[in-house]
Amino acid sequence: MRDMSTDIEQAIQSSNVPYLVLVELDFVEGFVRLSNASYNIDWAGNTWTGAGNLGTISAIEEGQDLQEYGCTLTLSGISADYIAKCLGTGYQGRAATIWLAPLTDDFQILSDPVIVFKGRMDTMPISLGSDAAIQVTVESKLVDWERPRIRRYNNEDQTAEFPADRGFEFVPLMVEKELVWGRA
């Protein structure tokens, strides 16, 4: 069960639930915040750009198994300038969050939206043609689970992680060192 306020629980149980989907992508150059509205929305001190029918989100899967899940965000019908900017931006491994925001009768965001997916951006294939489209695949943090962690027992590896630690500094001198114990 998701952590949601009683206002949102009651709204979801009603027969008609207007809602917004909010997407936040953390690029190196700054955040990109989009919504499925056809107009800009202000929430949490930020303006969320309305993508309207230009954006889609694939099905968001989840389960009880300990495995990675993901989804794909697509933005179509965008200008060549924006595509060029996306090609040169840093995104891989950076945060992406998707919220579901039920609305009140006067189409204001009700209480705090619910996070439906949180992960990291993985790939960004771009389709060019009559309608240009950018797809961003977002993977759960469990994708990183099986990545090998390669560490070396040497001074360079240790100081890269802990700059003041000199515990491995003399290890190379000890490789061929003959130690004599118990003699004068």
pLDDT in the model for residue 46? 94
Instruction: Say how many C-beta atoms besides its own lie within 10 A of residue 54's C-beta.
Output: 16
Dist CA 18 CA 108 (whole Å): 10
Mean pLDDT of 3-23: 77
Using the predicted structure, report yes or no on whether residue 131 has a pLDDT greater than 80: no
Res 2: pLDDT: 61
Is 133 a residue whose pLDDT tops 90?
Answer: no
Tell me the mean pLDDT in the region 141-147: 72
One-letter-per-residue 3-state SS of 80-134: HHHHHHHHCCCCCCCEEEEEEEEECCCCCECCCCEEEEEEEECCCCEECCCCCEE
Residue-level pLDDT at 140: 85
**Is pLDDT of 23 > 70?**
yes
Question: Each residue of 31-64: pLDDT tens digit?
Answer: 888 888 888 999 999 999 888 877 888 888 777 7
